[in-house]
Every structure is written in structure tokens, then in C-alpha cells.
Structure 1
Amino acid sequence: MRIFGRNKEQDILNLFRRGDASAMDELYAEYASYLTAICVRYLSDDDDVKDVLQEAFIKIFTTIDAFDYRGSGSLKAWMGRIVVNESLLFLRQRKRSPIDRMEADPPDLPDDDPDTDDLTSEEMTRLIRQLPDGYRAVLNLYIVEGKSHKEIAQLLGIKPDSSASQLHRAKDMLARIIKNYKSHRQ
């Protein structure tokens, strides 16, 4: 069954409120790809992604009754935050603190960013997944989620200066990864 209403989020929420058995299937069908893409930004192992997504969907399904709909996009954003939080929780529970996984200072690179115009989003995702967990977490929280270094520090249990430093290192490492990938691709 496909939902044909004008606002899919509200239609899905109405299915949950009515106790409709198809509510979970509809939510999953509509948002699984989006939520998987978020999770992949934080975790490099596909089995870990599956585990975290399963936990995130359980949390979504068990707490959706308490969700306060605030207009179009709010359900999607709420679920995205759950996936980010579950991904970060997973990294912490593995006792692999992002700081513990940081490598030594990479060699200095020019401050110019590598050209990524000819890379697909799938290629970029694969390249970003090569970063160590901590670098990847800081990069995503800062660039994609728009968090400040103070917020990142609170989420990861590090100092704001460490967040800024790790972001710089993540960008440098990613630049090297991209340059290496492009040189071998040709």
C-alpha cells in the first residue's frame, strides 16, 4: 500500500496513531535509504551500519508516539537525529573513543581543497568511510550536521580545541585519500 496524501510524514504518523499494521512498513519504505545514508557517514563497516540502523528503527518505532510533529520535514529530521545519536553511541560503546582512533599528525598539505566535482556521491561516501572513526565523526558532525566545535566536544567527550584540530586533520587526510583515488582511477 502506498500513501497518496499530500504530506507523507503526517500520513505515516496517522497510521501509527490509528495502530495500523502497515505503519512501520510505510515508514521504513519511505526513509530507510535516507537513514542508511546518514549511518554510513559515521560507520565504515556495513555490518555495524545494519546493527545501528536496527537499533535506531527500534527506538523510532517505540518512541514515535511521543514525537511532536512540527511541520513538513520534522519527522525526517527527528529520525535523522536518532540515527546520528545511535551511531555515536555505538562508537562510544565499542570503547573506541574517536580520540583514541586518531592517527598522528598527517603531513602538511596545501590549504586548497581537492577538486571533487567529478566524483559521484557514492564515490565520496566510499572515500569518507576510509577515514578513522573519530575523524569521520568530527567531519560529519561539523560539516553535515552543522554542529559547533563546542557541541561536538560535548557529544564526543573531547575538548572544543580537539574537535577543531581533528576536523583539520580529517580534511587533510580526506584530501590525500581523494588525490590518491583520482590518481589511480585514471
Structure 2
Amino acid sequence: MQTSMISGAAIDDEAQIVDDASKGNIAAQKALYSLHIRYLAGVCSRYILNTEDVKDVLQESFLKIFSSLPSFTYRGKGSTRGWMCRIVINETLKFLRKTTMFEFTELTEAESSRGYDDYEPDINEIPTSAIHEMIRELPSGYRTIFNLYVIENKSHKEIAALLNIKESTSASQLHRAKAILASRIKEYRSTLEKATL
């Protein structure tokens, strides 16, 4: 971990940074921000495409993070980032519920009969940046549910509660998102193959 200067002393212990930040130490709060902002911006931008909106959500998130720090209990490496990430996701979803009209579509009878987990795209040899871009291009409802389920490991029950939808709706949107991604990955591979001929 990077060493930070807090109160004139070199500190490389995140537990100490968190403790100092929770007591209102501005240098410690800046150090905490610097340690995690890039990762948290990445999390937020998986859901929200507009850069200015991402900045607004992160600003709200950090206000909540700093005001909630006194009640946070440090539980070892990764616990701070995990806790901050949950706050950012909650603030992101709050923003999306206010600003986005999610349009959820039910599966057709044919899609339902095939089940929800047919589409497991093969992403071997495809750059991570290309996959991220494909996910960002999904319609907002699909993108949100895909991220919550695949990246954040939320269950359909948890997603249904977060978005105020039915579990079956969450499952069907994930199915559609995977189908779109599988199709785009296939197109990407086809383009690569043509380029190498």
C-alpha cells in the first residue's frame, strides 16, 4: 500500500488512516480518497455512462462514506474497499432509480422454455476493455442487472428488492443481457478472424 503523509508522519497502515479519517482528520480523508477513488469510479461507471453523473454520484458517496466512518469497523485488508463499494453501489442505484426509466421485457415462450442460463459467452482471448465496453453498451436495465448479478454476486432475490421488481424479471433480464453479449462476442471474434485473413 502507498505510504501517506498524515499529521507529518508517514503512515502506510490503512486501519490508522481509517481511524484518523473517522475523527475528521482532513489529510487522512484525502489519503483514503486517493487510495480508493479510481477503483470506485470504475465501479460507478459500470452502471452510469455519463462522466459528469459519475462524478456527482461519487461526490454523494464520499459525503456518506466520511459521515458514516465513525460507525465502520475495520476488519482487515479489503474490508474498507468492500464497505465503500457497497455505499457507491447503493448511491448509484439511487441515482438510476431517480433518473432512469428501466424498461424490462418478459421472455418469449421460446426463451422461457430454454431456461435462463443458456448463454455463457466464451470470453477467452478477448481484451477486458472490449468486454467492459460491450457491457456498457447494454440497455440500462440489462446492464444494471448484469453488473449486480455477475460482478457484485447479488442473487435475483436481492436484485428484485434493490430495484423493486420480481425475481423472475431479474432472471429474464440477465438472460437477455447474456444473449446480447454472446452475440456481440461472436461478432467481435468474426471481425478479428476476418482481420487476420
For 1:44 and 1:105, how far apart are their aligned partners in 2? 26
Q: What corresponds to 1:130 in structure 2? A: 137
Q: Secondary structure at the match of 2:138?
A: coil
- Indicate whether 1:14 and 2:15 are aligned: no
Further displaced range: 46-55 or 174-183: 174-183
Report the Cα offset of residue 174 of structure 1: 1.4
Aligned residue in 2 for 1:148? 155
1:46 equivalenced with 2:51 (yes/no): yes
Write out per-residue CA displacement over residues 65-86 of structure 1, whole angstroms, 9 at most, x where no aligned residue: 2212233322111100011111
Tell me if structure 2 keeps the 8 A contact 1:142–1:152: yes
State the Cα distance separating 1:18 from its structure 2 match: 4.6
What number of residue pairs does the alignment pair up? Answer: 182
Structure 1 length normalisation: TM-score?
0.85
Aligned residue in 1 for 2:32: 27
Partner residue in 2 for 1:74: 79
Deviations 1:131-158 (Å, cap 9, x if unpaired)? Answer: 1111011111111111111111000010
Tell me the distance in 2 between the aligned counterparts of 1:173 and 1:104. Answer: 15
Alpha-carbon distance between aligned partners in 2 of 1:169 and 1:114, rounded to the nearest angstrom = 12
- Whether the 8 Å CA contact 2:105–2:173 is kept in 1: the answer is no
CA contact (8 A) 1:35 1:83 kept: yes
1:170 matched to which residue of 2?
Answer: 177
What residue is the counterpart of 1:119 in the other structure?
Answer: 126
**Larger Cα-atom Rg:** 2
Moved more, 16-25 or 80-89: 16-25
Residue range with higher mean Cα deviation, 57-66 or 73-82: 57-66
Q: CA RMSD in A?
A: 2.6
Q: Given residue 179 of structure 2, which amino acid in structure 1 is its aligned partner?
A: D
- For the 8 Å contact 1:7–1:72, the answer to whether it is kept is no
Mapped to 2, the partners of 1:159 and 1:19 lie a distance apart of 42
Q: Where in structure 2 are there 5+ consecutive unaligned residues? A: 5-9
Q: Which residue of 2 aligns with 1:64?
A: 69
Q: Give the Cα–Cα distance (whole angstroms) in 2 for the partners of residues 64 and 77 of structure 1.
A: 13
CA deviation after TM superposition for structure 1 residue 113, in Å:
3.2
The aligned residue for residue 158 of structure 1 is 165
Is this contact kept in 2: 1:2–1:26, CA < 8 A?
no
Gap runs ≥5 in structure 1: none
Alpha-carbon displacement from aligned partner over 1:46-92 (angstroms, at most 9, x marks no partner): 22222211211121122212212233322111100011111111110
Residue pair 2:106, 2:172 contacting (<8 A) in 1 also: no
User: Which residue of the other structure, out of 54, 69, 84, is the alignment partner of 2:89?
Assistant: 84
State which drifts further: 128-137 or 65-74: 65-74
After superposition, what is the alpha-carbon deviation per residue over 1:3-34, rounded to whole angstroms, capped at 9, x for unaligned? Answer: 365642x0221221453221121111110111
